[in-house]
């Protein structure tokens, strides 16, 4: 049996007594049935964060998202409300590296994500055939220093045309400009092949090998105008030794990158991530 559609609210604001009781009471008063509820208090900042999911009931259920946002505002909180039966459309950005691309596409085909990919955008044509194999339209948008403004304009146009609600940089080896990120209209999830903030920028595995670290990692984060500095969603590490060369680090790192990026996207699509400042609260 298909589960009933639910509403998922992410709320945050200054902490005060009674917030949990008041939000649950608001849902109860409308005959809603709470399925999951979790909350967190940042002790240093005095901020309250909550994720609550419920099955709405009654004739006014269609308006509950709007009404909850107004109710949250009356408590000094902001709220984002999503429906579980809305599958958001996303776009994959790729270059030549294909491991994250194939992993996400296969997971999508297997039904692991609460959303869909509308198309693929790439600055190289290498993965055109693979994209079409998965039934995804492929847009080749070459990028150079001279053509970058026009290329990013074209990319934003594609996002608007397909109705994209998120984008994933699956080892897309171009730095997105501040102008693109400010005007693309969607959150952008990136995978960086190091345990940020260590080894930001290019060739992090080479940097790690030169430094002789004993752990390497991967980091999924929201892209911002500052390179590799956006709010972190998920990270993981694997142990290495002096016996491992750069190729070994790359091989081990690729496995991490796939897992970390897939988990970050899954949490994003399930409305489990609250961003505040340059940090995230992830209700896993």
Residues in the chain: 284
Q: Which two tokens stand for residue 228?
A: 């590799």
Q: Looking at 38, 228, 229, 255, which residue is catalytic?
A: 228
Whether the CB-CB separation of 91 and 167 falls below 8 Å is answered with yes
Whether the CB-CB separation of 215 and 194 falls below 8 Å is answered with no
Sequence-distant (6+) residues with CB within 8 A of 158 are 91, 119, 121, 139, 141, 164
Q: Which two tokens stand for residue 46?
A: 């005095």
3-state secondary structure of 32: coil
Under DSSP, the state recorded for 11 is E
Sequence-distant (6+) residues with CB within 8 A of 182 are 225
**Cα dihedral 226, 269, 96, 131 in deg (nearest 10):** -150
Specify whether 228 is catalytic. Answer: yes
**Cα dihedral 268, 274, 278, 284 in deg (nearest 10):** -60
d(CA 143, CA 115): 28
Whether the CB-CB separation of 183 and 159 falls below 8 Å is answered with no
Whether the CB-CB separation of 222 and 275 falls below 8 Å is answered with yes
Catalytic residue numbers? 228
């Amino acid at each position: 049996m298909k589960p009933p559609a639910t509403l998922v609210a992410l709320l945050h604001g200054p902490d005060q007594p009674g917030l949990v009781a008041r939000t649950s009471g608001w849902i109860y008063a409308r005959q809603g049935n709470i399925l999951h509820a979790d909350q967190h208090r940042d002790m240093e900042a005095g901020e309250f964060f909550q994720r609550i999911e419920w099955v709405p009931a009654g004739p006014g259920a269609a308006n509950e998202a709007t009404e909850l946002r107004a109710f949250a505002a009356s408590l000094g909180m902001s709220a984002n409300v999503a429906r579980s039966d809305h599958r958001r459309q996303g776009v994959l950005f790729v270059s030549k590296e294909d491991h994250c691309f194939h992993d996400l596409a296969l997971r999508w085909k297997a039904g692991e994500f609460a959303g869909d990919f509308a198309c693929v955008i790439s600055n190289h044509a290498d993965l055109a055939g693979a994209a079409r194999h998965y039934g995804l339209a492929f847009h080749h948008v070459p990028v150079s220093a001279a053509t970058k403004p026009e290329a990013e304009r074209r990319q934003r146009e594609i996002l608007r045309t397909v109705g994209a609600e998120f984008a994933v940089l699956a080892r897309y080896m171009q730095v997105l400009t501040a102008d693109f990120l400010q005007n693309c209209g969607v959150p952008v999830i990136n995978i960086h092949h190091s345990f940020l903030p260590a080894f930001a920028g290019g060739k992090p595995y080479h940097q790690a090998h030169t430094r002789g670290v004993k752990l390497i990692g991967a980091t999924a984060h929201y892209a911002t105008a500052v390179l590799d500095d956006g709010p972190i969603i998920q990270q993981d590490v694997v142990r290495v030794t002096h016996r491992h060369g750069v190729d070994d680090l790359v091989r081990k790192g690729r496995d991490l990158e796939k897992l970390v990026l897939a988990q970050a996207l899954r949490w994003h699509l399930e409305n489990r991530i609250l961003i505040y400042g340059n940090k995230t609260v992830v209700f896993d």
